[in-house]
Chain A
Amino acid sequence: MPAVQETVDRVRRIDVDQYRYGFETLIESDKAPKGLSEDTVRFISAKKNEPAWMLEWRLEAFRRWLTMTEPTWARVDYPKIDYQDLYYYAAPKPKKQVASLDEIDPEILKTYEKLGIPLREVAVLEGVVSPDGEAAPERSRIAVDAVFDSVSVATTFKAELKKAGVIFMPISEAIREHPELVKKYLGSVVPTSDNFFATLNSAVFSDGSFVYVPEGVRCPMELSTYFRINERNTGQFERTLIIADKGSYVSYLEGCTAPQRDENQLHAAVVELVALDDAEIKYSTVQNWYPGNSEGKGGIYNFVTKRGDCRGRNSKISWTQVETGSAITWKYPSCILRGDNSRGEFYSIAISNGFQQVDSGTKMLHLGKNTTSRIISKGIAAGRSQNTYRGLVTAHRKATGARNFTACDSLLIGDKCGAHTVPYIEAKNASATFEHEATTSKISEDVLFYCVQRGLSQEEAVGLVVNGFVKDVLQQLPMEFAVEAQKLISISLEGSVG
C-alpha cells in the first residue's frame, strides 16, 4: 500500500520535535461540556441523532460504570485520572452536512495529507499527481474511513463496496441505517458490563467503524481506518464492530496517530469482531499514538478492549498488532473460540522506549471442539520503559482437542528498561495441548558493531536488528502495511542507544 508508505515519508518530512506526527490542526470544534454525567451521555446521543434504544443502551452502561472501579492489576503506573476533568465529545464543526469529499474542511484534508492518507478517492483510484508534482505510485486499493477526533469525516469507496454488498460506514450512521444489525451484534462480544474502560466506552463512544460482510462475500479490498486525536483534553472513545457472515472474508487495517500534547489523553476504544461459520476476519493495527516526551511527560493513555468471537464452525480470527506509541498501553486483543474447529491468532510487536509502559497480550478461550490458537509475541523494551506480555489460554471442559502454541520473545535495549512475561494457562480438558515458549535477550553489542562496521549508523543498526527480531510478526501484516510498520519501528527506537 504505497499510501501508508507515503504516510511515513511525508510525515518524516514534517519536522516537529521528535514526534513526527506532532502537528495540530486549527479548526473550530464542537465540544460537549467538560465532565461525565447522564447529561453528557444524552448530549452525545443527541449529537448523533440516535434512536431512543441506543440512548437507553448507553445510559444503562453509564449507570453500570458508576458502580465499577478502575482495574489495577496491570503492570502500569500512572496518576489517577479525573474523569470529570475530561471532554467526552469533540467534533469538527461542520459547516453543513458532508455529502462529498469536496465539502470537507480543507484544514482537515490538509491534516490527512500530512499523514498521507488517501482520502481523495480519485487519488486512490487513479494514482493522480501528488502535491509535490510527482506522479503517485501505483496504489493498491484501500477503502478509508477517516475518524477525525470523534466524527468520521469521510468514507471512501462506499459505492463499490455497496455493489459487493459490504457495509462499511461510521458506526453512528449504521445505528441509524442498519439498526437491526447493530442491535443484534453490538455488545454481543464485549458486553456493556465487561470492564471499567469498555463500559465507559459503551456510555460515551462517539464514533468508529461498522463493517458487515454478507454471506459468501470476499471483501473486494482492504478496509482501513485512521484514527487521530486532535482536540485537547478529549478522550477518544471509538467503537468498532465487524461482522463476517457465513463463508465471508475481510481484512481490516487500523492505524492511529496523534499530535503532540502535554496533557495525557485518555483513549478507551472497544472493538468487537464476529465471525460466523467458515468466515475469516483479519484485523491489523499499527498504533503510534504520542508516547510522551523524553522526560515521560504527556502521552496517550490507551485502554483498549478488543475481542473477537469465532461464533461459527471453522471460523477464524487473526489479530496482528504493532504497538509503538502511547504512554500507557493496556490492551489484550482476544479470541473466543466458540465454534468447533475455529482458530484464533495473535501476532504482536510491542515496542516501548522512553518512559512508556506497555501491558499487552491476549486471551485465547477455547470453548469448541478441536479449536486451535497461536500466539506470537515480540516485546522490545528500550530507554526506561516497562514492557509486559500478559496472556491467558484456557480450555473449557468440553473443548476436546484444543491446541495452543505460544511463543513470547523479549528484547532489551539498554539496562534501564524491563521486560516481563505473565502467561496464565488453564486446561479443564485433559486432551488439550498447550505449548509455551519464552525467551528474553539483550540486544548484542557485537551484532550492533558488526552492522556499524559495515556502514550502518548505530540507529540504523538497532532498527535492522529489531526488524529482524520481529520478522515473524511483520510477515503477518498486509505487505504494504509492513513497510510502514518497519519504518515506525525504527523511528520509535530513535535515541534508544548511544
Chain B
Amino acid sequence: MMALLEVKDLQVRVEDREILHGLTLTVNQGEVHAIMGPNGSGKSTLSHVIAGKPGYEVTGGEILFKGEDLLAMAPDERAAKGVFLAFQYPVEIAGVATMNFLRTALNAQRKARGESEFSTPDFLRKVREVAKSLNIPQDMLKRGVNVGFSGGEKKRNEILQMALFEPSLCILDEMDSGLDIDALRIAADGVNALRSPERAMVVITHYQRLLNYIVPDFVHVMSRGRVVKSGDKELALALEASGYAQFEDAA
C-alpha cells in the first residue's frame, strides 16, 4: 500500500541555518502519529514545510503525498489535495467574516479539484452542524476571522475548518496549548470525530495529556531536527516520566 505521506531524509534551511537535518517519517492512511520534542527541535518547521510556507529552503530529501512530489506543488494546491495544517498560532484577519472566509476557502478547494461549488443553503447547513458539535456559537462565525477570539476559540475555529474541508492529512501543531481542560476535551472530541480509515493525523504536542484524549498509533520524538526515537503510545508515557534529556545525546 502506498503511504499517504512520506518524508525522506528531509533537510531544511532557514536563513542559512539548517533546522532539519535529514528527517524521515512515514504516515499511512488511518493512522494517528504524535510528534513530541523539546522547544526548537523543528516540529513547527516540519509542519510548515509540508504545508508549503515560504521562507524555507529544502536542501535535501523529498516529501511524497499520495505518491506525488509535494514540494513541487503550490501551497494552495496542497490544500486542495488534502493537506491541512491547524496552526500553532492562528492569525487574525480583520474585516473578513469567518463565514465568508470558510465559504471562500471551501469553494476555492472544490474548484481546484474540479468539483462544483456548494450552494448557500447546503453550505450553511454544513457549517451550522459542525459548529454546533464544536460548541461554536453562530455569532462567532459572523465576526472577523479569529478577531478577538480567545485562545480556545481560535483552536476550535481551526478544528471547524478541518471538519469542513475534510482533508486527508491533518497536521495539528500544539492544538492543546492555551486550552483549559473543558476546551481541550471539546477540541479533542472534534478531532476524534474526524478519525477515519481514509484520514491520517499528525499531532504535535508537548503534553502526554492530549494523547489521553487523542490516542496515537505512533509516537515520535524529535530532537535537533531529526526523529530520534519512534514507538507506540507508551513512549509518550515514558517521556512524561523521564523528560527529553535521554534523547538529546542521541541527536
| Contact string against B for A residues 50-63, beta-carbon threshold 8 Å, 1 for contact and 0 otherwise | 00000000000000
A450 engages B93 (CB within 8 Å): yes
**Min CB–CB distance A137 → chain B (angstroms):** 15
Does any Cβ of B come within 8 Å of A436's Cβ? no
A468 to B91, CA, bound (A): 14
**Min CB–CB distance A467 → chain B (angstroms):** 7
| Contact string against A for B residues 71-84, beta-carbon threshold 8 Å, 1 for contact and 0 otherwise | 00011100110001
Report A-chain residues with C-beta under 8 Å of the C-beta of B87: 450, 453
Q: In the complex, which of the residues A447, A452, A458, A464 has the most CB atoms of chain B within 10 Å of its own CB atom?
A: A452
Knowing A444-B91, A450-B90, A455-B112 touch, does A464 contact B96 (C-beta < 8 A)? yes
B76 engages A458 (CB within 8 Å): yes
A468 engages B144 (CB within 8 Å): yes
A464 engages B93 (CB within 8 Å): yes
Report A-chain residues with C-beta under 8 Å of the C-beta of B106: 455
A456 engages B94 (CB within 8 Å): no
Does any Cβ of B come within 8 Å of A446's Cβ? yes
Instruction: Select which of B52, B93, B94 is within 8 A of A451 by beta carbon.
Output: B93
B101 engages A455 (CB within 8 Å): no
Does any Cβ of A come within 8 Å of B229's Cβ? no
Beta-carbon contacts under 8 Å, A338-374 to B: none
A455 engages B91 (CB within 8 Å): no
B108 engages A468 (CB within 8 Å): no
| Contact string against B for A residues 431-449, beta-carbon threshold 8 Å, 1 for contact and 0 otherwise | 0000000000000111101
Does any Cβ of A come within 8 Å of B54's Cβ? yes
Does any Cβ of A come within 8 Å of B53's Cβ? yes
Beta-carbon contacts under 8 Å, B18-58 to A: 51-55
**Min CB–CB distance B107 → chain A (angstroms):** 9
B108 engages A457 (CB within 8 Å): yes
B105 engages A454 (CB within 8 Å): yes
Knowing A458-B76, A468-B93, A468-B144 touch, does A453 contact B85 (C-beta < 8 A)? yes
Q: In the complex, which of the residues B74, B90, B93 has the most CB atoms of chain A within 10 Å of its own CB atom?
A: B93
| Contact string against B for A residues 460-474, beta-carbon threshold 8 Å, 1 for contact and 0 otherwise | 100011011111100
Knowing A447-B93, A450-B91, A460-B104 touch, does A455 contact B165 (C-beta < 8 A)? yes
Chain A: interface residue total (CB-CB under 8 A): 23
B54 engages A468 (CB within 8 Å): no
Knowing A452-B76, A456-B105 touch, does A445 contact B95 (C-beta < 8 A)? no
Does any Cβ of A come within 8 Å of B109's Cβ? yes
**Min CB–CB distance B137 → chain A (angstroms):** 21
Beta-carbon contacts under 8 Å, A295-316 to B: none
B95 engages A471 (CB within 8 Å): yes
**Min CB–CB distance A458 → chain B (angstroms):** 7
Beta-carbon contacts under 8 Å, B187-216 to A: none
A453 engages B95 (CB within 8 Å): no
**Min CB–CB distance B63 → chain A (angstroms):** 15
B96 engages A456 (CB within 8 Å): no
Report A-chain residues with C-beta under 8 Å of the C-beta of B108: 454-457, 460
**Min CB–CB distance A491 → chain B (angstroms):** 16
In this complex, what residue of B is CB-closest to A463?
B104
B79 engages A454 (CB within 8 Å): yes
Does any Cβ of A come within 8 Å of B177's Cβ? no
**Min CB–CB distance A193 → chain B (angstroms):** 42
Knowing A455-B79, A457-B76 touch, does A464 contact B54 (C-beta < 8 A)? no
B91 engages A456 (CB within 8 Å): no
Does any Cβ of A come within 8 Å of B230's Cβ? no
**Min CB–CB distance A353 → chain B (angstroms):** 20
Instruction: Select which of B76, B91, B104 is within 8 A of A464 by beta carbon.
Output: B104
**Min CB–CB distance A440 → chain B (angstroms):** 15
Q: A interface vs B, CB < 8 Å?
A: 444-447, 449-458, 460, 464-465, 467-472
Given contacts A456-B76, A468-B144, 4 further A-B contacts (CB under 8 A): A450-B90, A453-B79, A454-B109, A457-B74
Question: 10 A–B contact pairs at CB < 8 A?
Answer: A447-B93, A450-B90, A450-B91, A450-B93, A453-B51, A454-B165, A455-B76, A455-B80, A456-B104, A458-B76
